[in-house]
Amino acid sequence: MGVPTAVSHPVGRRRGDHLCWGYADYDQFRHTAAAFLEEGRRAGEQLLFVGDRAVPTLLDDLSPWSARDEVLATGQLCVQELTEVYECMADLDVEGQVATFRARCRSALAAGYSGLRVAADVTALIESVRDWDRFAAYELSVDEMMSTQPATGMCGWQEARADRPGALSALHRYQHRESGPVVFSVRRRGSVLRLTGEVDASVADDLAAVLRAAELPVARPVEVDLTELDFIDVAGTRALARFCDSAPAGVRIVGALDGVSRCLDLFGLPVDGRVAGCGP
């Protein structure tokens, strides 16, 4: 819950936290990942480190971490290549992949760990996936899964190589960015999309991209919860209005604050719980 939080350190995370780490150079990321995993080691979590490199290289990447050999020996740490974790990167199987992580959480608990903590450099996955929407839908699903499992995750990517890094960041509660500000997030819980933070003209395209990617139930209206949205302007509202128009069963907007309502009124979007957009 809560507004998106810009973070400058990977630690201080608890189970259920979903963090993204946009980086400029990989050397910085591997140190960040080591610190993130060390926190999980102390918490007795099963640890997984994933990247687009051969396993020995990934192990080298963690060499600054003093406890690396110990957690490797006990089996607490598992290191895997990206292609091994994501079997088909181009046609990412969103539900299958989420189910795999959920199963790994259960195995971790069964093995006596307190949860599962994953640090993954997904830059190559973002580059390989055939459409951006598929990856964004995956992040929305992972975020939702993590909110109900004892899982903690950090998705890293090199910002210069990621398409729409601002929109990708917005799919996380905790965000670290190299090249842009942290201003909003979108998270999905069932058929509810929860917007937090501030959406203005500078990120309206990112909002539109995220909303497009949110896989929507066709049969009933999507609910958009604006309780945690502190600010939206005309450009941001326009993105929301277009989303309402394109939703198959319309959109129900709830929780709009006064200033937000003012903009929604301008586009004729009802804020009283009635369905906006093309209803059935």
Partner 1 sequence: VTPAVRPTGTWDGRAFGHEAFVFSTDDEVVARCLPFVDEGLARGEAVVVVAGVRVRSLLEDALGDRLGQLASFDPAEGWWRGGHETLQAYDSALQQLQATGRPWRLIGEPAWLADKDGRVWSRFEAAVNRCYAHLRYYSLCLHDRRALTPAVVDVALATHPLTWGGSGPVPSPQYVGTDAYLRSVEPPWTQRPPDALRTDVTWAPDGRTWVREVVDRQGWRGRGAEIVLAVHELVTNALRAGGRAEVSTWPENGWTVWEVADSGPGLHDPVAGYVPPATDTSGGRGLWLARSLADDASVAAAGPGTRLRLYFRP
- Of 21, 20, 15, nearest to 46 (Cα)? 15
Is residue 259 within the footprint of partner 1 (CB under 8 A)?
yes
CB 4 within 8 A of CB 172: yes
Residue 221 carries which DSSP code? Answer: P
User: Which residue from 81, 134, 242, 255 is in contact with partner 1, where contact means CB under 8 A?
Assistant: 242
Q: Within positions 123 to 182, which residues make up the interface with partner 1, using CB under 8 A?
A: 181
What's at 254, amino acid-wise?
V
Q: Which helix (H) or strand (E) holds 193?
A: strand 192-199
CB 276 within 8 A of CB 251: yes
Is residue 183 within the footprint of partner 1 (CB under 8 A)?
yes
Tell me how far apart the alpha carbons of residues 99 and 149 are, in angstroms, rounded to a whole number: 12
Give the pair of three-digit tokens for residue 134: 């598929």
- Of 36, 189, 39, 35, nearest to 114 (Cα)? 39
Pick the stretch among 70-78, 86-94, 154-162, 240-248 that binds partner 1 (CB under 8 A): 240-248
User: Which residue from 201, 254, 274, 279 is in contact with partner 1, where contact means CB under 8 A?
Assistant: 201
Is residue 6 within the footprint of partner 1 (CB under 8 A)?
no
Is residue 234 within the footprint of partner 1 (CB under 8 A)?
yes
User: Which residue from 212, 235, 248, 250 is in contact with partner 1, where contact means CB under 8 A?
Assistant: 235
The minimum distance between CB 230 and partner 1, in angstroms, equals 9
Residue 157 pairs with which residues in a beta bridge?
22
The minimum distance between CB 232 and partner 1, in angstroms, equals 9
Is residue 238 within the footprint of partner 1 (CB under 8 A)?
yes
The minimum distance between CB 266 and partner 1, in angstroms, equals 6
Give the pair of three-digit tokens for residue 106: 């259960």
Give the binding site for partner 1 (CB under 8 A).
181, 183, 198, 200-202, 231, 233-235, 238, 241-242, 245, 257-259, 262-263, 266-268
